[in-house]
Homo-oligomer: A and B are copies of this chain.
Amino acid sequence: MRLSKSFIKTLRDAPKDETARNGALLTRAGYIHKEMAGVYDYLPLGLRVIENIKGIIRGELNALGCQEVLMSALQNPEPWEKTGRFSDAEVDIWFKTEVASGGLLGLAPTHEEPITEMLKSYISSYKDLPLYVYQFQTKFRNELRAKSGILRGREFLMKDLYSFHASEEDLDKFYAEVEGAYARIFDRLGLGADTFETFASGGIFSKYSHEYQTFLPVGEDTVYYNEDKSAVLNKEVYNDEVLSDLGVAGQKFSETTAAEVGNIFKLKFKYSEPLGLKFGDENNEQKTVYMGCYGIGVSRVMGVIAEKFADDKGLVWPETVAPYKYYLVAIGDDAAKLADELYAGHEEEVLYDDRDVRPGEKFADAELMGIPYRIVISGKTLEQSAVEIADRATGESKLVGIEEVKNLLTK
């Protein structure tokens, strides 16, 4: 992308009501635009980050045999009434709206009910099981307060996966596979070192569920962890009984704040029972389907990565999610000629700052935008038949020969 052709520019100020660091930085760097508290637009750079995050998740889930769908946002109350969840007393974050032909619809805050209902058309026999269905879909939650930038949205993007099984053993087996996939996903997102599978309340159907918590100063959750972080517990289950249950009683635990980036949950019959999702087993007996659900907050992950790695100069994206890998700056006409040449054919990995502004402004924008590698070509580097490549994360820079750079770009 040539920056001169893009409408993106960095802004001096974020909106006055943007108190969250991720929201302010992402706005100033030209990734998002705030519509209202908890509701954001994704500008070209931001949308590329979102798509990169989705790509990593999609790849890992497809490898498990998961199938992608897209459910509707508008929700017929009927299946939700069967589980009691259309009631505002039960679920207090519904957006509801009247439909012209009469009656009330909801905006999906999650999709267990419609997906369970839908699969009644597709599951009838044990031969149809197991199956794993996921989507990337906008969720709507009528939060009273939403002051955490894209960490807590009234409208946000989520990956939600649902699994369907003939037996509890099969659910357990797949649950473990998802744990593996989640570890790989958070590693690839650059969050692996600080993201922990965390024991949380399992509700009435499981002893525990698991959250994926990224340790983060501005995280809204409180978690406790032991010395080697082999046991991490949400505050809600941090008590003697659970510690003893997990065999970690007597160990030293510390408290920290964290942001929940994902969760996985053995639903068992929680939705399949009230909605009547059944299958005929080998003896043609009707049995209720076992279910699991597995979420990752896609837009929240983007906010967590922004918060986690940012420094006083701006954003710092891991290569895997960065909108572009290289930020290209040329100083002088000869340099521009080489820059044009390097850029050609690499529009998807190079953000070429060809604007008619001072180099200092370009350097500052490269840092604010957090592009992993900044390539600078100048008279000085050309004297050595080289370009300068600076690493945004470490700040280190080195001269790299022109032919070598061409090889870097072509791969």
Flag if A41 contacts B6 (CB, 8 Å): no
Check A122 against B7 for contact (C-beta < 8 Å): yes
Please name the residue on chain B nearest to A78 by beta carbon: B36
Which B residues are in CB contact (< 8 Å) with A224? none
Contacts of A74 in B (CB 8 A): 35-36, 39, 95, 140, 154-155
Question: Taking chain A's interface residues, is the majority helix, strand, or loop, or is none over half, making it mixed?
Answer: mixed
- A6-B67, A121-B11, A128-B7 as given contacts; A76 in contact with B114, CB under 8 Å: no
Q: Chain B's nearest CB lies how many Å from the CB of A125?
A: 11
Q: Which residues of chain A (30-59) have a CB below 8 Å from chain B?
A: 33, 35-37, 39-44, 47, 50
CB distance from A204 to the nearest CB of B (A): 27
Bound form: Cα–Cα A76–B11 in Å:
22
Which residues does chain B contribute within 8 Å of A142, judged by CB atoms? 97, 99-100
Q: In the assembly, what is the distance between CA of A41 and CA of B397, in Å?
A: 50
Q: Does chain B have a CB within 8 A of A188?
A: no
Q: B36, B65, B68, B96: which contacts A5 (Cβ < 8 A)?
A: B65
Number of interface residues, chain A, beta carbon within 8 A? 56
**Residues of chain B contacted by A75 (CB below 8 angstroms):** 35
Residue of B nearest to A96 (CB): B97
Give min CB distance, A63 to chain B, whole Å. 11
> What distance in Å separates the Cβ of A19 from its nearest Cβ neighbour in chain B?
15
Query: Inside 8 A of A128's CB, which chain B residues have their CB?
Result: 7
Task: Tell me whether A119 is interfacial, beta carbon within 8 Å.
Answer: yes
A-B contact pairs, 24 of them (CB 8 A): A5-B65, A7-B67, A7-B122, A7-B131, A8-B122, A11-B121, A35-B71, A35-B75, A37-B101, A41-B71, A41-B114, A42-B69, A42-B70, A47-B68, A73-B138, A73-B155, A74-B154, A95-B97, A95-B98, A96-B98, A97-B142, A99-B154, A100-B143, A100-B144
- A positions within 8 Å CB-CB of B: 5-9, 11, 33, 35-37, 39-44, 47, 50, 65, 67-76, 93, 95-101, 105, 107, 114, 118-119, 121-123, 128, 131, 133, 138, 140, 142-145, 154-155
